[in-house]
Amino acid sequence: MFALKENETILQTVRKHWFVLFGEIAGLTGIYVLPFILYAFLKNANLPLDTLKNFSLLENGAVVLFAGALWTLCIWMKAAAIWTDYYLDIWVITNDRVIDIEQIGFFHRETSTFPIERVQDVTIRIHGLIATLLDFGEVHVQTAGAAREFVIRGVGKPRHIKERILAEHSRVRRSPSSSPLRENGGV
Amino acid sequence: MTFSPDIIFSFFTLSGTLWSILGVTAVIFVGYSVILLYHWFRYAFASPLTFLFLTIYFGISAVLFGVLLTATLIA
């Protein structure tokens, strides 16, 4: 995934909240059931005989079974992609830096790193009733000299993450010489 | 003039068409799974969760291919 420096330890690995995954899977489930609802409608609707003759394949059990299994396989493969995207999209907080790994589909992966000591501001945003109840939201980190703001969306316990980053930032700023990486010439 | 899905099968036999679709699906599935395996072993390490995920993924996929094969044989 990435190489840790000497004396660098992982303090926390942050993933998006399970509700974010649940939302995507629920959407996919909605798409999945649509053809089955349509099929049930066509089977039970009192359509004119001429119309029914045009869809005689719907009466063939083997074809219906084949189509159903094929559609299920397609949705299943998409679900695997959603899970992979969710699982590989992480923030890793170490005692020296924060590593932001963003997986966007199979062929787009971004890895950004910012040192803890360069953190200037950490902001959290929690929108909506569900996010408030389940405690997930966005964490924005502004760093000195950074070209962009680092953001992780839909993350669980954002307050805890903010406190963790700020606590580590304070520790590094308080005693820069205590940073094990600097003693070894890192960063 | 109304469209009929049966037109598709007027050129091929039903069984032959289903075998063709099954073959194409199998090729796509293999390619897709290779990409998936690459991502899991490259970025998520060979952890127990990886193996659990892969077992579930390939297990359910095998069942679905079994259903597809059965339906093709019946047709």
> What are the start-end ranges of the H helices in B1-75?
6-11, 14-43, 48-74
Average pLDDT over residues A51-77: 83
Distance CA A75, CA A4 (A): 37
What is residue A110's predicted lDDT score, i.e. its pLDDT? 83
Out of B2, B44, B74, closest to residue A88 by CB: B44
Please say if the pLDDT value at position A138 is more than 80. yes
Average pLDDT over residues B61-70: 96
- What ipTM does the predicted assembly reach? 0.81
Q: How far is B17 from chain A (nearest CA, A)?
A: 11
Residue range A10-16+90-183 in CATH 2.60.40: no
Residues from B contacting A (CB-CB < 8 Å) are 2-6, 9, 14, 18, 21, 25, 29, 32, 35-36, 39-40, 43-45, 53, 57, 60-61, 64-65, 67-68, 70-72, 74-75
Is A120 an interface residue toward B (CB < 8 Å)?
no
Average pLDDT score, chain A:
84
Q: What are the residue boundaries of the structural domains of chain A, listed by start?
A: 10-16+90-183, 22-85
Would you state the pLDDT for residue A70? 96
The secondary structure of A162-186 as a DSSP string is HHHHHHHHHHHHH-GGG-HHHHTT-
Q: Is A93 left (phi over 0), alpha (psi -120 to 50) or beta?
A: beta
CB contact, 8 Å: A13 with chain B?
Answer: no
Lowest mean pLDDT among A21-30, A136-145, A146-155: A146-155
A160 secondary structure, DSSP code:
H
| Predicted pLDDT at A184 | 44
Q: What is the mean pLDDT of residues A68-82?
A: 95
Q: How many CA atoms lie within 13 A of A81 on its CB side?
A: 17
pLDDT, tens digit (0-9, with 9 covering 90-100), for A155-183: 999 999 999 999 988 888 876 555 555 44
Q: Given an 8 Å threshold on Cβ–Cβ distance, is A50 in contact with B39?
A: no
Going B14 to B15 to B16 to B20, the CA torsion angle's sign is positive
pLDDT digits (tens, 9 = 90+) for B11-57: 568 888 889 999 999 999 999 999 988 888 877 666 777 888 889 99
Give the chain B residue whose CA is nearest to the CA of A80. Answer: B57
Q: For residue A90, what are the β-bridge partners? A: A15, A101
Confidence band for A61, pLDDT divided at 50, 70 and 90: confident
- For the segment A26-50, the average pLDDT, to the nearest whole number, is 85
The H-assigned helical ranges of chain A are 18-44, 49-54, 61-88, 129-134, 158-174, 180-183
Specify whether the CB–CB gap between A91 and A155 falls below 8 A: yes
A148 inside 8 A of chain B by CB = no
Q: Do B74 and A62 touch (CB under 8 A)?
A: yes
Give the whole-number percent of chain A exceeding pLDDT 70. 84
A147 vs A96 pLDDT, higher one? A96
* pLDDT confidence of residue A148: 66
A30: Cβ–Cβ under 8 A, 6 or more apart, which residues? Answer: none
A38 touches chain B (CB under 8 A): no
Task: Report the range of poorest mean pLDDT among A40-44, A52-56, A57-61, A89-93.
Answer: A52-56
> Where is pLDDT greater, at A24 or A186?
A24
The pLDDT value given to residue A54: 61
Which chain A residues touch B29 with a CB distance below 8 Å? 73, 77
